[in-house]
Amino acid sequence: MASAQKTDNAPAERKANPFKSFITGGFGGICNVLSGHPLDTIKVRLQTMPRPAPGEKPLYSGTLDCATKTIRNEGVRGLYKGMSAPLTGVAPIFAMCFAGYALGKRLQQRGEDSKLTYPQIFVAGSFSGLFSTFIMAPGERIKVLLQTQGIGPGGEKKYTGMIDCAGKLYKEGGLRSVFKGSCATMLRVVVVYSSFGFTILQ
């Protein structure tokens, strides 16, 4: 009877451990980058390949052709070009993501144990997108530049790595150049993370 009463009076939501969330989220993000980056490289190269002239064949005919040519010309490491930027930023991104979600929940909770409604979870998820954009946007820009350099005949390799790319972007246009495309990135992650709030972050 006493145990049943204790169960009924249990808090509606269990408090999350920020340290455990940081470690597990960061490790999961690293595994996600390691497994998904080759396909991301192929996607970016297919999206940015030069338009063929009339009568000429495209640089890549499809996903498999792009992967084959990349491995043949650059080795397996070619599929992992630009991975240093997302790999370096993934732990802070996940940390900011969960911190933003916690803040979004806290601002809407009337009590410590109050449970959020679905619209409130959606709003809290959007906070995680806003916070993570500050790290994600520069990383995305650097990643794409590293993935697409040197493609095609006579393609120039302008950057030697992540730090070199970030330094040259800053010299060319300051922080505005480094954070170019941030608004589009923010709109994307806010919508995505708001939707994820229903399944992952809740």
pLDDT by residue, tens only, the chain of 202 residues: 444 444 445 445 544 455 666 677 778 788 888 999 999 999 999 998 888 888 888 999 999 999 999 999 999 999 998 888 788 877 778 777 877 777 887 788 776 667 778 888 888 888 888 888 888 889 889 988 988 887 766 667 889 888 999 999 999 999 999 999 888 888 888 887 777 655 554 5
Q: Identify residue 20 by its one-letter amino acid code.
A: K
The secondary structure of residue 80, as a DSSP letter, is G
Please tell me whether the overall predicted TM-score, pTM, comes out greater than 0.95 for this model.
Answer: no
CB neighbours of residue 29 within 10 Å: 20
Collapse the DSSP code of 16 into the 3-class scheme (helix H, G, I; strand E, B; otherwise coil) and give the result: coil
